[in-house]
Amino acid sequence: MGNTETQGYSKEERVKMAKRTLRVMVAKPGLDGHDRGARVLARCFRDAGFEVIYTGCHQTPEQIAAAAVQEDVDLVGLSCLSGAHRYLFPAVVTALKERKAEDICVIGGGIIPEQDFKMLYDSGIKEIFTPGATLDGIVEWVRKNVMVRE
């Protein structure tokens, strides 16, 4: 909560705000069933003090978006190892838009070639993490860029 947004508030108001907890969803769209990476990330988010909704494997973009809205998360982290990210990641962004939930931040991780970055960013994916990314780095990015939405 060290961002500029909180500076104009009184000490008491900041105590109130500190009670706000980031809610994030970790989801695995597509057909690959390797969710070890997603589970590790979920645990890491929990240790960072976030509430993590885990939805398991084989999720369609529509299921992910519906769950994100029901759970009122601030962030959806997608993990995809099957190579279908070019279709699946933008589809999640679209499905969120259809539910008027475009304010939910979407990031993606997996084996993603650099030439795909631009089309993913253009589609509304806010950040991409490839296997070289550290867990701490991901948490830090989230802390800096994702806020509890008003």
Partner 1 sequence: METVKKIQEGDVRTASRLIRRIEDGVLEARSTIKKLFPLTGNAHIVGITGPPGAGKSTLVDGIVTQLRQKQKKVGVLAVDPTSPFTGGAILGDRVRMQKHAEDEGVFVRSLATRCALGGLAKAVGDAIHIMDVMGKEVILVETVGTGQQEVDIINHSHTVLVVLIPGMGDEIQAIKAGIMEIADIFVINKADRDGGSKLYRELVSLLDMAPASAFASGWRPPIVKVENSFVPESFNNSVAELTQKIEEHHQHLLASELMVSRERRKAAVELSEAIRNTVYEPIMDKLITEGTIDAMVEELMAKTSDPYSLAERIAQRFLKS
Query: Which residue among 66, 84, 135, 147 contacts partner 1 (CB under 8 A)?
Result: 66
**CB-nearer residue toward partner 1: 21 or 134:** 21
CB of 31 to partner 1, least distance (A): 15
What's phi and psi for 60, nearest 5 deg? -80, 155
Pick out residues in 118-137 that bind partner 1 (CB under 8 A).
Answer: none
Query: Among 44-52, 83-91, 107-115, 121-129, which window interacts with partner 1 (CB under 8 A)?
Result: 44-52
Q: Which residues contact 9 (CB under 8 A, 6 or more apart)?
A: 17
Q: How far apart are CA 67 and CA 118, in angstroms?
A: 27
**Among 119, 27, 112, 13, which Cα is nearest to 73's?**
27
How many residues in the chain?
150
Pick out residues in 4-23 that bind partner 1 (CB under 8 A).
Answer: 11-12, 15-16, 19-21, 23
Please report whether residue 46 would count as binding partner 1 according to CB under 8 A.
yes
CB of 120 to partner 1, least distance (A): 24
Say whether 125 sits in a helix, a strand or coil: coil
